[in-house]
Structure 1
Amino acid sequence: MERQELLRTIEKALSEVLERPVGGLMEETALFDELQLTSIAVLGMLMSVEEATGISVDPEGLDIDHLRTLGSFADYVEAAIRAEEGAS
């Protein structure tokens, strides 16, 4: 999955869980501070991203640093995709 496609996938997931349009975000967009993401919304976003990408995320293994910005979460998802591809 290309980076831009992944960012669009995450934006779509954010729009769904926040129940409002979210678009044109920058990689530096702070998920909690700027978008007011809640812990419940994080779980919804994770499930949506898992479904769209085919990865499996263990919320217990997710660090707050992975969720600071759109870019840091995209980095985490890309690493999870590579790990699952390598395990196949």
Structure 2
Amino acid sequence: MPASLPTEARREDVVRAVVAALADALGHELPDVTEATRLFDDLNVDSTSVLGLLMSLEDSLDIEVDTDILEQHHLESVAALTDFLLENL
């Protein structure tokens, strides 16, 4: 993502990437996902899905997710994961 994008545009791009990566990891479309969607409680994400999610995000955003600093609370919701990614891009 170009660094010149406004923060809001970058956030929207990352949210879209997170939703697309979730759909890829879970194997089905997620038309109703919002930033408030909880990964484990609402989408039934499990540890295997998290690995697929992170790999998909690394590919789509051309980043490397540092799993040493990734904590459980970063995976609570789409918003929490988006915040983590924006802080670490």
What is the TM-score normalised by the length of structure 1?
0.85
Question: Which residue matches 2:45?
Answer: 37
Gaps of 5+ in 1: 82-88
Matches for 1:8-87 after TM superposition, within 5 Å: 8-81=16-89
Distance 1:58 1:4 in 2: 22
Q: Deviations over 1:12-67 (max 9, x none)?
A: 11111101111232211110000000111001100111111122112232100000
Gaps of 5+ in 2: 2-9
Query: Higher helix proportion, which one?
Result: 1
Distance 1:17 1:52 in 2: 13
Which 4+ stretches in 1 moved above 6 angstroms?
none
58-67 or 7-16: bigger deviation: 58-67
Alpha carbons 1:55, 1:80 under 8 Å: kept: no
* SS state at 2:24 partner: helix
Question: Which residue matches 1:4?
Answer: 12
Question: Which residue matches 2:6?
Answer: none
Aligned length: 81
User: Percent identity, aligned pairs only?
Assistant: 33
